[in-house]
Amino acid sequence: MPGLTGFFDNAGRLTSVGIQCALCHSTVDNSFAFGIGRRLDGWANRDLNVGAIIAFAPNMQPFVDLLQIVIPGIDAATVRAVLNSWGPGKFDAELLFDGKAVNPQQVTNGVVTGTNVPGATLLPNAFGLAGFNQHTWTGAWGTVTYWNALVANLEMGGKGTFFDPRLDDAAKFPIAAAKGFGHVFTDADHDLITSKLPALHFYQLATPAPKPQPHVHFNPAAAKRGDALFAADGKAGCGKCHIEPLWTEPGWNLHTPLVMKIDSFQADRAPDNTYKTMNLAGIFVRELGIFMNPDNKGRFYHDGRFETLLDVVDSYNDRFNLGLTNREKSDIVEYLKSL
């Protein structure tokens, strides 16, 4: 399986397992059988149930101890229930920073679309990252190189150095502040992470998004009509923010929940309370469910609240009063699949 390294003793017995980025951000092309084939780096593993794997651990006490900082009396059974609520293709990177397990009310344009929604977000694709700023779903965490350092040190249990004094904010990040997560230091002779970051960064930025094939992954004639609608001066105007060919803004690519007309739950968990303009290259992979269990295809926005691209377009049509016809919405979907 991509992303796993086993460590064995002299008798050939497995003693521990290490994980790499590829565990969550790679899959395989099923060229031999489903789940077996050539590795596809950068493709989010939408079949991987991270929460269920963690919940299977025999000892939940490290999680319990951290979460009790903000939820006194929480027990192992409750922690396992939270982890199992995430579902495949999701991970809650901030749970052990702020202890917020659920979004109490998911709202889009004033309409409640869910209550007590698990706080996990979708594993993002890690291809097509070159040329633009913030790379996570929510605001001002930093570019991919920042997230590499955070995840390696704070999520994957590596031995290195990480600095972010914003995590000292006890009101926003009570667990992280209490445990000093923004001040991790390992001397250079024993730091196993920092020296790896430049090469990892270079590799990630050099990983291109997959290219859709006309007549296979999208309808070219419909996509051409959708292009005109999507353009900055088109009826939908999506291109005002999703700038071709980055499909996000060059520069500061963050927006407030008020501007996006959605709830602020995930934005409020980020340092500056904003959402990122999603880079759309390769989005056809999710819509068509390529190299994944069909049950796990689709799911758009940070928390997967929209099952299909048409659901996304419908939402923008309603939120921003675009007045799109059914055919126009369908054409925009085909254009999105062509990116």
Give the per-residue pLDDT at 112. Answer: 82
Record the tokens describing residue 59, joined without a space.
């000892």
Total length of the chain: 339
Query: b/e map of 306-322 (b: 16 or more CB within 10 Å)?
Result: beebbebbbbbbeeeeb
Give which of 278, 320, 335, 337 is closest to 303, Cα–Cα.
278
339/62 Cα distance (integer angstroms): 43
Query: b/e map of 250-260 (b: 16 or more CB within 10 Å)?
Result: eeebbbebeeb
At 188, the amino acid letter reads: A
Asked if 43 and 28 count as a contact pair (C-beta separation under 8 A), the reply is: no
Give the per-residue pLDDT at 279. Answer: 95
Residue-wise pLDDT for 272-308, tens only, equals 999 999 999 999 999 999 999 999 999 999 999 999 9
The pLDDT of residue 26 is above 80 = yes
Give the per-residue pLDDT at 302. Answer: 94
The pLDDT of residue 315 is above 70 = yes
Model confidence at 108, pLDDT cuts 50, 70, 90, reads: confident
Q: What percent of the chain has pLDDT over 90?
A: 90
300/309 Cα distance (integer angstroms): 7
Structural element, H or E, at residue 200? helix 197-205
104/14 Cα distance (integer angstroms): 42
DSSP annotation of 155 reads I
Mean pLDDT within 97-111: 88
Query: What is the overall mean pLDDT for the chain?
Result: 95
Give the per-residue pLDDT at 64. Answer: 97
CA angle 45, 50, 56 (to 5 degrees): 145
Least confident of 21-25, 85-89, 161-165, 310-314: 21-25
Burial class of residue 339, CB neighbours in 10 A (0-12, 13-18, 19+): buried
Give the per-residue pLDDT at 128. Answer: 95
The pLDDT of residue 139 is above 90 = no
34/89 Cα distance (integer angstroms): 17
Least confident of 100-104, 137-141, 286-290: 137-141
Asked if 190 and 159 count as a contact pair (C-beta separation under 8 A), the reply is: yes
Model confidence at 1, pLDDT cuts 50, 70, 90, reads: low
Task: Output the pTM of the full model.
Answer: 0.93
At 328, the amino acid letter reads: E
